[in-house]
Amino acid sequence: MSLEIKVPAVGESITEVTIGQWFKNSGDYVEMDEVICELESDKATFELTAEAAGVLTTKAEAGDTLEIGAVICEIDTNASEGDAAPAEERKEESKSAEKASTGGGKTGEVKDMVVPTVGESITEVTLATWLKEDGDFVELDEIIAEVDSDKATFELPAEAQGILRHVAAEGDTLEIGGMICKIEVVEGEAPSESGSESTAETTPSSNGDSYAAGHASPAAAKILAEKGIDAKNVKGTGKDGRITKEDAEKAQKSAPQPAAPQASKAPAKETAPEAPKVAGERNTKREKMTSLRKTISKRLVAAKNETAMLTTFNEVNMKPIMDLRKQYKEMFKEKHNVNLGFMSFFTKAVCVALQEWPAVNAQIDGNELVYHDFCDVSIAVSAPKGLVVPVIRNAEALSFDQIEKEVVRLATKARDGKLTIEEMTGGTFTITNGGIFGSMMSTPIINQPQSAILGMHNIVERPMAVNGEVKILPMMYVALSYDHRIIDGRESVSFLVRVKQLLEDPARLLLGV
């Protein structure tokens, strides 16, 4: 008895599928419920299982597009395993055919690649970019994609050598352990381009005769129907001329020919005045929020809602630091091979003040206050994909040049998207510098679970009264936002005054007074 296996219904809106690959060859003996092939639709990939045990006879090839309900193969249920073609002959024929077409041998093994664990607190990632296209040959450990988490961007290396098959699309959000792609394992060298070209040349160029030619996929058909465009007027770029979703999105409806003016016998009716036309283009653009941007949004709103946040201000005379930098910056750079910036002065001043006012360096954990005897200073950096806050560990023990080198290293990695989870985890206090963008004054938001953040701003020359005289001095406003649940007004103001004293008299930083 021969049992026909038909393409099953795999979704309400799916009317056809494409055979991705056969896991069993024609003439093989298959067991009941054994996976025999893989079917691909516009939305997902499905596995087709044998409905009975017997000898398989395929009715379609890999790459063929079939409608739902079409016969895809037959199984001779009366045949025994001994009636199947010798496995060694089938294996040799398969290997020789694959080597002739690819230059390497497919092993039949399919490597499923899932989203790896990238951090304790990370439960999902977003597929940012495919660096390799679907169907490309990839080497073991070759970078094939970039994934974004709410903290950093990671590179995804191939876990095997072979043909890459995309499962997830760019922009998809996947949970840790979710399927991201598959690799059809290939042994030997990479497929030669000449071999693929010769195969393409020998393939009959009769795409117009195939079912897929000029046929729109379900998703593409829906888009074309909404636009009122006939599929016959759209050129397909998919397999065998198939119209893909991207083709439908790019398709434009041809403008109708203007009708010849006809003399109207009826008297002209009075019409309402037309609305005035707006000059210029009025285009809009929509972009999906990245995981990093969504997480930043949630954390900022949570900080506003869950903390009793207040901000206190002061102003700092930057002339002593600017004079010191002007005098020693060349010698500093020559000796340490790094520029002497403002960040090292502020970091050192903050570390001294934090050790004198430990509540500013504390955080709430449930019903307890956690005090730190070290200063892990977070530095806010504006990266291309959003704000990140890498941490300078034990900043209180670092020298000026060590702080400057660490700032440069972390800022460079942040802008390149190479920061690790460890480099952004923790932190007991944050410094943010809005002055580099021209900010005069702001109220920075606390970086939870920390209890305070210091905001730097731009330096502006202003007239100041000094010992009864008016002098023009380079002044900077500084702002300290703090959690009033932990830090009292006396502590916050005293902390900021101490930072001001140390910055206006840098010698105090060296003498520890």
pLDDT per residue over 421-475, tens digit each? 888 888 999 999 988 888 889 999 998 889 999 999 999 999 999 989 999 999 9
Share of the chain above pLDDT 70, in %: 80
**In terms of DSSP H, where are the helices of 310-399?**
319-336, 342-356
Residue 331 confidence (pLDDT) = 93
Phi first, then psi: what are they for 151, rounded to 5°? -125, -30
Better-predicted residue by pLDDT, 45 or 440: 440
- Confidence band for 488, pLDDT divided at 50, 70 and 90: very high
Domain edges within the chain: 2-85, 107-194, 212-250, 304-511
Residue 128 confidence (pLDDT) = 82
Better-predicted residue by pLDDT, 155 or 275: 155
Q: Please give the average per-residue pLDDT across 58-67, as a whole number.
A: 86
The answer to whether 150 is a known catalytic residue is no
Q: Give the amino acid at 73.
A: C
Answer yes or no: same fold for 2-85 and 107-194.
yes
Q: Which CATH class is domain 212-250?
A: few secondary structures
3-state helix, strand, coil in the chain (%, to 5): 30, 30, 40
Secondary structure E strands in 188-308: none
The answer to whether 484 is a known catalytic residue is yes
In CATH terms, is domain 107-194 a member of 2.40.10.120?
Answer: no
Distance CA 76, CA 29 (A): 9
pLDDT per residue over 325-375, tens digit each? 999 989 999 999 999 999 999 999 999 999 999 999 999 988 899 999 999
Q: Which of 134, 172, 373, 484 is catalytic?
A: 484
In this predicted structure, the answer to whether residue 13 has a pLDDT above a threshold of 50 is: yes
Share of the chain above pLDDT 90, in %: 31
CATH code, residues 2-85: 2.40.50.100
In this predicted structure, the answer to whether residue 204 has a pLDDT above a threshold of 50 is: no
Residue 236 confidence (pLDDT) = 76
In this predicted structure, the answer to whether residue 258 has a pLDDT above a threshold of 70 is: no
Q: Is the pTM of this model over 0.95?
A: no
In CATH terms, the superfamily for domain 304-511 is Chloramphenicol acetyltransferase-like domain (3.30.559.10)
In this predicted structure, the answer to whether residue 272 has a pLDDT above a threshold of 70 is: no
Q: Which of 83, 172, 373, 488 is catalytic?
A: 488
Per-residue tokens: 95 = 């290997």
In this predicted structure, the answer to whether residue 252 has a pLDDT above a threshold of 90 is: no
If we measure between CA atoms, which residue out of 425, 415, 444, 414 comes closest to residue 376? 425
- Name beta bridge partners: 316: 476
Q: Please give the average per-residue pLDDT across 409-425, as a whole number.
A: 85
Residue 208 confidence (pLDDT) = 43
If we measure between CA atoms, which residue out of 168, 110, 175, 122 comes closest to residue 144? 168
Q: Please give the average per-residue pLDDT across 211-226, as a whole number.
A: 67
Residue 244 confidence (pLDDT) = 73
Residue 195 confidence (pLDDT) = 45
Better-predicted residue by pLDDT, 239 or 306: 306
Q: Please give the average per-residue pLDDT across 224-249, as a whole number.
A: 73
Select the highest-mean-pLDDT range: 211-215, 324-328, 384-388.
Answer: 324-328
Better-predicted residue by pLDDT, 122 or 323: 323
Distance CA 404, CA 459 (A): 20
If we measure between CA atoms, which residue out of 113, 229, 219, 117 comes closest to residue 168? 113
In this predicted structure, the answer to whether residue 210 has a pLDDT above a threshold of 60 is: no
In this predicted structure, the answer to whether residue 100 has a pLDDT above a threshold of 50 is: no
What's the mean per-residue pLDDT of the chain? 81
- Confidence band for 207, pLDDT divided at 50, 70 and 90: very low
- Confidence band for 263, pLDDT divided at 50, 70 and 90: very low
**In terms of DSSP H, where are the helices of 157-264?**
193-202, 218-227, 245-250
